[in-house]
Amino acid sequence: MNEPSTQELLRMCLEGALPPGLAARADDPNDPLASRIRTCLQLAELLEDLPLESPPEALRDAARRVPRELHRSSLPVWIATLWSPPPSARPAFRGGAPPATTYEAGPFDVDLLQPADGTLVGQLLPRDAGTESPSAGSCTLFGEARTYHASLDANGGLRFTGVEAGEYKLVLDLDQGCVVVPDLLLH
């Protein structure tokens, strides 16, 4: 029997049609398909939380296509949690801006700051010297009414402008994996 592709797994997870046999394989540490199943289940759960209108079928099919470079046996997804570093380790931003909010996500820290209405800036930093610094990636801010896109710069920096107040999910798509900050409240 042929193994399903990542695209087929994601489609099944999004449609809630993952066969019980495949779902059971997600917990088997010796199964090479387990990490792809878990990743697709996590992505489907995150997408399920977004209150979006159903897009046209052609757009859904295009969005489900997985880029060739993502066909890896393991693509980690790190869900960020709020973390409060000691004062000596907090990032400093110029201009008397409020302190950054720091999240811990696997091998990375995500520092986010909203210096003015409609602007979100941040930086993705490795937690230790053994982690490779992200040099590129795409950043997507998913909101109830709109979605915003930005690129991660060579220093791990990101910047969104013109962002409406509301609740958001931030997804950073990196070569090393995917970082998700699930509960952002922007004003």
Q: How far, CA to CA in Å, does 170 sit from each of 1, 36, 92, 139?
A: 37, 21, 22, 7
38-47 confidence digits (pLDDT tens): 888 888 887 7
Report the alpha-carbon distance of residue 133 to residue 78 in Å, rounded: 15
**DSSP designation for 44:** H
Check residue 81 and give its pLDDT: 87
Domain range summary for the chain, segments of one domain joined by +? 6-70, 77-186
Calculate Rg over the CA atoms of the chain.
18
Q: pLDDT means per 10 residues in the chain (187 residues)?
A: 78 84 87 85 76 61 52 71 66 61 91 88 90 86 88 92 91 89 87
Report the alpha-carbon distance of residue 43 to residue 126 in Å, rounded: 23
The answer to whether residues 115 and 121 touch, using CB atoms and an 8 Å cutoff, is yes
Sign, Cα dihedral of 68, 73, 79, 84:
negative
Q: How far, CA to CA in Å, does 83 sit from each of 21, 86, 109, 129, 183?
A: 38, 10, 9, 19, 13
**Cα–Cα nearest to 113, from 156, 166, 149, 158:** 158
Check residue 69 and give its pLDDT: 47
**Cα–Cα nearest to 113, from 126, 127, 131, 98:** 98
Q: Specify the CATH number for 77-186; select among 1.10.12, 1.10.10, 2.60.40, 1.10.357.
A: 2.60.40
